[in-house]
Chains A and B, each alone.
Chain A
Amino acid sequence: MKRQSAFVTYMGQRWAIVFLVLEFIFFSILGRGFLTLNGVQIVLFYGTTLALLAAGETFVIVSGGIDLSVGFVMGFATIVSAKLVAAFSRMGLSPGLSIALGVAITLAIGVGPGFVNGFLVGHLKVPPFLATFSVQGITYGIALLLAGGAGAAKDVPILANLIGNGYLLYWVRGQGLSFFIRPEVARGTRVVEMIPTMVVVTVLFIAVGAYLLKRTRFGRYTYAIGGNIDAAIRSGINTKRHLTLVYIISSLFATLAGIIYMLEYVTGKADAGASFLLDSIVAVVIGGASLYGGIGTVWKTMLGCLILSVLEMGLRMMGVPTFDKFIAVGLILIFAVLIDQFFPELIHKED
């Protein structure tokens, strides 16, 4: 019987954080401009989409399911929001109002795919993999239909771009701080930008999500369903309704990600989220969730997102082709699962 030193066990259980720190060190040595304020912010900017999708995915995976539709729901949302905002703008509404209305209605529409997913999984007992895969295809088709060719985002007011690419804090030497709005300065004066607004928005929603999963009865029930759905049913939880809500939450996060994308790039793109799907699931798994359900938290998923974002950015800054990201992600993923397997085994060793 091997005796594992307490330190190694401690480190092993927190391997994700250790890994992240190592990544930081690795890339700041090898990459240029990595640990600067600019560099960190680029990572955060990139990671917002991943973080939102992964947060929604966490709910679904904890409930014992999986949501393959998040990527295309996001793309769908980019197109819907672009078109709505453009339409309102064309109707003569002020930019601010157009954007606000467009965003609100998009969020409302974003409930749709989630509702369908949840209904299929909760009421019709369709395996989540199949249900969300079907909905993914349908959503993609509808998105393409709506996009109907280029120019999905004509007439979207510039304000959208300003919001999407704005920062929380601006600091000009001698002028002090200003919030949200870029201060007017003489040409050549350096403006320090801190914390992209969209990152703030993302963090807010993720914090809400984390609280929802961890501290509310809703979250508790989600874990219960993921742990043992029969037991959950027998303790009186309305699993059908609950599962529907869980998938709606995932869909809403994806919709939000799509809206933010639209604000950042002022365009609608049906496959904008396609490449994020697998990454979001990877992030959730790296964060320690179990694909069988019942285990996982939003913040740990965020850790997984960080690891992936830092990796992506670090590789990019090192000038290494993104091909290697695939290899790295693949290896990290396998590593993550193996560690989760081996460390519990070393702690409770049985015959």
Chain B
Amino acid sequence: MQRVRADAREDASRYRAVSLLARNWALLFLLLMVVVFSFSGKNFFALDNFQNILRLATTTLLLAYAETFVIITGGIDLSVGFLMGFSSVLSAQVIRKLCLAGWSPGACIPLGVAAAVLACLGCGMASGELVSRYRVPPFIATLGVLGVATGITLHISGGFPIGDLPAVITDIGNGYLYYLHPASGKGSFFRPPAAVTEAQIRELVRVFPNATVLIVAVLAALWYLLKHTRFGRHTYAVGGSTDAALRAGINVRRHLLLIYMLSALLAGVAGVVFVFQSGIGNHTSWGANYELFAIAAVIIGGASLMGGKGRITASTVGVLLLTVLENGLYLSGVEPYYRFIAVGLILILAVVIDQLFPDLF
């Protein structure tokens, strides 16, 4: 009797070990890649490069967070990539026009940002109403909305990037929290130290991109929202069983509306970040596939397209996995087309693992 129990316990713990590994496969894979690329890539394993990766991943992270909420409810939002373009164009245009008209940057910029974010909220409201009140499948609702938004975007921009924005924008977007000149010991917050020569600028150590400050704040807020509030709990419930949620008295219609508005809001923020990082506003081209990558990241992070599963932290790992992959391949001198192949293969791996261990949460 005793021996049987010992064997069973051994099997159980072995299963637990394997499933623990499988559950965190994305994170393990990420670490593995970091190790491999440190050897194969030029200057991969450097503070500069890592911060660069984080900085560039900002918009993708925001889009992935947007998709996380929507996918947990069992829906999908195809419009996030295009709303990002819409937001970048609208904010850039407003800022540009106002600044040319003589307003101070301190006034134009917040107005431009607010306009873009509000406009995206409006789009989210449209998607949300279509899905929640008119029962249009999310695929189609968000497809329709992105079409209208892209049309408007192109009308505003004429298909060309909008530049001529105040320089302070890119200063903020690409700036770091702290700058240090190691040799002389001079350091300062938010901008390079004043008394620094041309030669010394190259030796500056930059710590913590502003963009990452934003992401950390957003990540914390959204993580909290999903895990510790009623809103988050209801999001999982709606995704797990719309019927159960309805009969428990949850206003599913209103909840879904809010979810799509949140998604659009985050996409709007991503557009603003794009302007701050690149200094221009530009429409999203038809084959850019931002939303597909965001969705892939969320799935790699363990969510299911059926709904009911997904976590902000896991989506973050998913995005990092994809961006590190791209960065590492690039620094290792691999041509860009391999990136597509690699992403495809990893995604398949993600889903197959999910099939093997379906009860992982």
The 0/1 profile, CB within 8 Å of A marked 1, for residues 154-172 of chain B is 1100010000000000000
Task: State how many angstroms separate the Cβ of A247 from the closest Cβ of chain B.
Answer: 14
Q: Contacts of B139 on A, CB cut-off 8 Å?
A: 291
Chain A positions near chain B (C-beta within 8 angstroms): 68, 120, 124-127, 129-131, 133-138, 140-145, 271, 274-275, 278, 281-282, 285, 291-292, 321, 323-331, 333-334, 337-338, 341
A-B contact pairs, 7 of them (CB 8 A): A134-B343, A141-B341, A144-B335, A145-B335, A145-B338, A291-B137, A341-B135
Interface centre among A68, A133, A291, A341 (most CB of B within 10 A): A133
Q: How far is the CA of A154 from the CA of B351 in the complex (A)?
A: 41
> B144–A130 contact, CB under 8 A?
no
> B147–A330 contact, CB under 8 A?
yes
Q: Contacts of A136 on B, CB cut-off 8 Å?
A: 344
> B348–A131 contact, CB under 8 A?
yes
Chain B positions near chain A (C-beta within 8 angstroms): 76, 130, 134-137, 139-141, 143-148, 150-152, 154-155, 159, 286-287, 292, 295-296, 299, 305-306, 335-345, 347-348, 351-352, 355
Q: Contacts of B136 on A, CB cut-off 8 Å?
A: 334, 337-338, 341
Q: Across the interface, name the chain A residue whose C-beta is closest to B126.
A: A334
Does more than half of chain A's interface fall in helix, strand or loop, or is it mixed? helix
> B305–A333 contact, CB under 8 A?
no
Given known contacts A127-B351, A130-B299, A140 and B337 CB-to-CB distance under 8 angstroms? yes
Given known contacts A130-B305, A291-B139, A323-B154, A331 and B148 CB-to-CB distance under 8 angstroms? yes
Q: Contacts of A143 on B, CB cut-off 8 Å?
A: 337
> B287–A271 contact, CB under 8 A?
yes
Q: Across the interface, name the chain B residue whose C-beta is closest to A278.
A: B143
Pick from A140, A285, A321, A334: contact of B340, CB under 8 Å: A140
> B341–A137 contact, CB under 8 A?
yes
> B150–A141 contact, CB under 8 A?
no
Closest 9 A/B residue pairs (Cβ): A330-B147, A327-B151, A323-B154, A141-B340, A144-B337, A137-B344, A141-B341, A138-B344, A134-B344
Does more than half of chain B's interface fall in helix, strand or loop, or is it mixed? helix
> A129–B135 contact, CB under 8 A?
no
> B143–A330 contact, CB under 8 A?
yes
Q: Across the interface, name the chain B residue whose C-beta is closest to A129.
A: B305
Pick from A125, A126, A275, A285: contact of B348, CB under 8 Å: A126
> A334–B151 contact, CB under 8 A?
no
Q: How far is the CA of A127 from the CA of B337 in the complex (A)?
A: 24
Q: Across the interface, name the chain A residue whose C-beta is closest to B336.
A: A144
Q: How far is the CA of A131 from the CA of B350 in the complex (A)?
A: 11
> B338–A333 contact, CB under 8 A?
no
Q: How far is the CA of A133 from the CA of B76 in the complex (A)?
A: 14
> B344–A135 contact, CB under 8 A?
yes
Task: State how many angstroms separate the Cβ of A172 from the closest Cβ of chain B.
Answer: 42
Q: Contacts of B342 on A, CB cut-off 8 Å?
A: 141
> B337–A326 contact, CB under 8 A?
no
Q: How far is the CA of A311 from the CA of B299 in the complex (A)?
A: 36
Q: Contacts of A133 on B, CB cut-off 8 Å?
A: 292, 295-296, 344, 347
Q: How far is the CA of A334 from the CA of B138 in the complex (A)?
A: 11
> A334–B336 contact, CB under 8 A?
no
> A125–B355 contact, CB under 8 A?
yes
Task: State how many angstroms separate the Cβ of A322 from the closest Cβ of chain B.
Answer: 8
> B134–A341 contact, CB under 8 A?
yes
Q: How far is the CA of A159 from the CA of B87 in the complex (A)?
A: 48
Q: How far is the CA of A136 from the CA of B295 in the complex (A)?
A: 14
Given known contacts A130-B299, A274-B286, A291-B140, A138 and B151 CB-to-CB distance under 8 angstroms? no
Q: How far is the CA of A274 from the CA of B285 in the complex (A)?
A: 11
> B355–A126 contact, CB under 8 A?
yes
Task: State how many angstroms separate the Cβ of B318 from the closest Cβ of chain A.
Answer: 13
> A141–B338 contact, CB under 8 A?
yes
Interface centre among B144, B159, B286, B335 (most CB of A within 10 A): B144
> A327–B352 contact, CB under 8 A?
no
Q: How far is the CA of A142 from the CA of B335 in the complex (A)?
A: 11
